Every structure is written in C-alpha cells, then in structure tokens.
Structure 1
Amino acid sequence: MPTDPLPFFVYGTLRTGGSNHAVHLAGRCADVRPAVLDGAALHEGPGFPYAVPDAAPGRRIVGELITVRPGAYGPALAALDRLEDCRSDGTGEYVRERLAVRTADGGTADAWVYLAGPAVAAHLRAHPALIPSGDWMHR
C-alpha cells in the first residue's frame, strides 16, 4: 500500500471539530484548508460517511485538506488506516486512494482520500443513502 507523504482529504468525523479529528489529528496538523473532491458522492453510514466515486454531474464532497507535520506523518497514516479499516489487499471498509482535490484558492492538490471499500460501495450503489449537499457537517 503506498505511503507517499501526501496531505489527507477528510470529509466526515476527521474534519476539524469531529470526534476522530480530536483523537487522530489534533496537534499533528501543519495546515488545514477547505477543499472539495469532485466526481464523488457522499453517503450516510451508521454514524459516519462514505465517499463513493460518482460521475453524475455536480457530484462533489466538501471537506478539508489536512497536511500533517512530517514528524507525525507515519503514526498519523498508520492510525488513520486502522481507523478506516484500510487493508493492503483492498478488502477493508475503506480504501485509500491518491486523488486530486480542489482547494479554496482555486488550485488543486493530490491527497489521500478514504473511499468506501468494494463491498460497502456496491451496497451503497444498490441502496443509496446520499447526502445531497455533499457536506457531512451540513447534511
């Protein structure tokens, strides 16, 4: 599983103020900026959201681009992979993919994004639980 030191695009409980941000990212962040992931839909899960690739026009997810301090990067990556049940064989609840996100200043940046794993994504495509706003904090 790749481990390039990219920022993380977070869209749910890992966002600033979220319960998992406090546990896994607070005090480790060098920079936090608003960002958007285009081409994906946000779905409601049991207490947390799932990002699912979706090419429908206008589909996007609102979140934050979080850059972790270099000395804290390895432990943060390992903690987030565990939290998201991200497995090296791609069978976990989430998969981590390198994707481009739009930043608030109009630029783009590559980031790690945790997407719904194959089984979860298939279930959500068959039984959508779409959050139309694409924003977990304003659903």
Structure 2
Amino acid sequence: MTAPRLPFFVYGTLLRGQRNHALLAGRVRSWTAAVLPGALLFDGPGYPFAVADPAGRGRVRGELVGIAEESYDLVLADLDRLETYVPGAPGNLYERVRRAVTGERGAQEAWVYLANEPLAAQLLAHGRRIDGGDWPASR
C-alpha cells in the first residue's frame, strides 16, 4: 500500500536555514509556519526529537511543507532515509506518523517524524526538553 500524499511537518534540520534544508530545494510547492499540538521537543545529538506529550498540552513549532507532485515519491524516500525510517521495521529511530498540525489554513493532517516509543520513554524520563518547542530558537 502506498503512503498518502500528505504534506510534511518539519521542526529541525529540514527547516529553512538548517543543515538538511537543501534536501528539499526545488521540490517544495509551499512552506507555512505551523504548530504540532500535543507534542514535546527534546534536544538530541545535533538534532531534535518530537515526542507525543502524555499530558497533551505541549506544542512544537515548525513548518508545514507541501511537496511538488512530481517530486513527492523521491522526497518521501529521501526523508525516510534521512530519518532512518523503514516502514514496519523494528529499531527505527523515528516513526513517520500522521498527525493534525495547525497552520495558516487551520488544522490539517501531515506526516511527522516522532521519536520511536522506547526513545520517547527515555526522553520523557531523562531528556533535555526544549521549552517553547522551537528548536532553532533554542540553539
């Protein structure tokens, strides 16, 4: 089964001005400021991890990225590779999940890479949380 063609919510190294942004160059049809509600952001080794907030009150700031139709399959494969995500594989560092994000047009579904469950539990217990959920502002 093929993945639905949703936009991506990015919150770390894929943001404009960050080191992996070039991966999206020339393949994006829209960039919109957006918020992922119900999530917390933690600092990792040079990149952040978003985690579902057990209390449901956290917010992660980022951008909603609409991918050009002709580039969608390549961008999906490139982002999965960057995030070391293989659908259904055990041991993924991130999981690509569908979540509602809020942007200029209100709430809409997007793909989001969240920390896998064991890593999320470890981060919630011992991680360095990024207050305000804004990774570039925390650096």
Task: State the TM-score bracket (shorter-chain normalisation).
Answer: over 0.9
1:7 aligns with 2:7: yes
Q: 1:44 to 1:2 in 2, by over 3 A?
A: farther
- Runs of 5+ unmatched residues, structure 2: none
Relative distance call for 1:86 and 1:57 in structure 2 (3 A) is closer
Deviation at 1:126, TM superposition (A): 2.0
Task: Give the drift of 1:137.
Answer: 1.1
1:74 and 1:137 mapped to 2: Cα distance? 28
Deviates further, 69-78 or 53-62: 53-62
Equivalent residue letter for 1:96: R
Q: What's the CA shift for 1:18?
A: 1.2
What TM-score, normalized to structure 2? Answer: 0.92
* Aligned mates of 1:57, 1:88 — CA distance in 2: 26
Q: Tell me the residue number matched to 2:116.
A: 117
Tell me how large the CA RMSD over aligned residues is: 1.4
Deviations 1:12-47 (A, max 9, x none): 00111111111x111110000000000000000000
Aligned amino acid, residue 78 of structure 1: A
Residue of structure 2 equivalent to 1:132: 131
Distance 1:57 1:88, change over 3 A: closer
C-alpha contact (below 8 Å) 2:39/2:56 kept by paired residues: no
1:32 aligns with 2:31: yes
Aligned mates of 1:46, 1:93 — CA distance in 2: 13
- The share of aligned pairs that are identical, in percent, is 47
* Aligned residues of 1:93 and 1:119 also touching (Cα < 8 A): no
**Residue of structure 2 equivalent to 1:59:** 58
Counterpart position of 2:19: 19
Given residue 11 of structure 1, which amino acid in structure 2 is its aligned partner? Y
Structure 2 match to 1:43: 42
Aligned residues of 1:98 and 1:113 also touching (Cα < 8 A): yes
Q: CA deviation at 1:97?
A: 0.4
CA offsets per residue over residues 36-70 of structure 1, 9 Å max, x none?
Answer: 00000000000000000004364100000000100
Q: Aligned letter for 2:110? A: A
8 Å CA contact retained: 1:62, 1:135: yes
**What residue identity is the alignment partner of 1:83?**
L
Query: How many residues are treated as equivalent by the alignment?
Result: 137
> 2-side partners of 1:18 and 1:79: how far apart?
16
Range with greater deviation from structure 2 (44-53 or 56-65): 56-65
